[in-house]
């Protein structure tokens, strides 16, 4: 069965949505967590979709915020340098190509350097508009990044469709008043409006009211 959505802008998360960086993310975060004696499952449930300093604050709530900020910069540098195993999500390249001439943006918790490194490793083009960690004061699950992207594109949030994989990102999209398409095996548990296994199930076509997103 095919579902058709009408929209005026597409907002795309990066990690887990356009690129598969799971192996790198989980390896580096478990290395970070080991000296703190943190539970593996708790760490992996926390770190996806958020800025690193925020994950650290959740996992180590009594620790000084300045330490989290400092360690997050080191983590970002390592993540940007270690891109072996980072690949495109199936269908990502075709989806990005189909968005030519359509208002769209990447909205990611990564900083510019990390976004550039991972999109490059996955051989995907970077969108003209990208809302990265440097441009927001509140990380996902706060909707600030998605709302900022909608404003920059001149599109009402209700006319935006978000592609997201993580709980934090899906919550941010929902709270922004946008329609969320969950991507990947874990997305359905966070109750997006729609779900796809990967981006090969998405097709974009022009329409009189903007464009149509067809979910197969």
Is the domain defined by 3-21+86-215 classed in CATH 3.90.230.10? Answer: no
Q: Measured between alpha carbons, how far is residue 11 from residues 58, 76, 131, 207 in Å?
A: 26, 23, 10, 18
Given pLDDT bands bounded at 50, 70 and 90, which one contains residue 30?
A: very high
Q: Measured between alpha carbons, how far is residue 83 from residues 23, 73, 122 in Å?
A: 10, 17, 9
Which residue is listed with tokens 């910069």? 73
DSSP label of 135: G
DSSP string computed for 173-213? HHHTT-EEEEESTTGGGG--SEEESSGGGEEEEEETTEEEE
Mean pLDDT along residues 190-205? 97
43 pLDDT more than 80: yes
Residue 41: exposed, middle, or buried by beta-carbon count in 10 A (0-12, 13-18, 19+)?
A: exposed
d(CA 78, CA 84): 12
Active site annotation includes 142: no
Question: What was the pLDDT predicted at 207?
Answer: 74
pLDDT tens for each residue of 123-179: 999 999 999 999 999 989 999 999 999 999 999 999 999 999 999 999 999 999 999
Question: What was the pLDDT predicted at 184?
Answer: 96
Is the whole model's pTM more than 0.85, yes or no? yes
d(CA 148, CA 154): 10
Given the DSSP bridges, would you call strands 3-7 and 210-215 parallel, antiparallel or unpaired?
antiparallel
Active site annotation includes 13: yes
Quote the percentage of the chain above a pLDDT of 90. 89
Catalytic residue among 13, 111, 142, 165: 13
Given pLDDT bands bounded at 50, 70 and 90, which one contains residue 121?
A: very high
54 pLDDT more than 80: yes
Task: Give the start-to-end residue ranges of the domains of the chain.
Answer: 3-21+86-215, 22-81
Catalytic residue among 15, 111, 142, 165: 15
């Amino acid at each position: 069965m095919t579902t058709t959505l009408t929209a005026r802008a597409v907002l795309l998360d990066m990690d887990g949505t356009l690129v598969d960086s799971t192996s790198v993310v989980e390896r580096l975060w478990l290395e970070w967590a080991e000296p703190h004696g943190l539970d593996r499952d708790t760490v992996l449930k926390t770190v996806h979709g958020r800025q690193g300093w925020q994950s650290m604050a959740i996992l180590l709530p009594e620790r000084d915020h300045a330490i989290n900020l400092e360690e997050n910069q080191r983590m970002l540098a390592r993540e940007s340098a270690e891109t072996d195993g980072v690949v495109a999500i199936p269908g990502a390249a075709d989806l990005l190509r189909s968005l030519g001439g359509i208002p769209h943006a990447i909205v990611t918790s990564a900083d510019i350097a990390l976004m550039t490194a991972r999109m490059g490793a996955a051989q995907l083009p970077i969108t003209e508009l990208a809302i990265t960690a440097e441009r927001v004061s509140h990380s996902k699950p706060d909707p600030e990044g998605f709302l900022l992207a909608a404003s920059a594109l001149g599109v009402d949030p209700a006319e935006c469709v978000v592609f997201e994989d993580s709980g934090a990102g899906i919550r941010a999209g929902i709270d922004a008043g946008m329609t969320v398409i969950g991507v990947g095996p874990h997305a359905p548990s966070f109750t997006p409006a729609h779900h796809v296994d990967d981006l090969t199930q998405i097709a974009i076509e022009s329409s009189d009211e903007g464009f149509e997103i067809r979910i197969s």
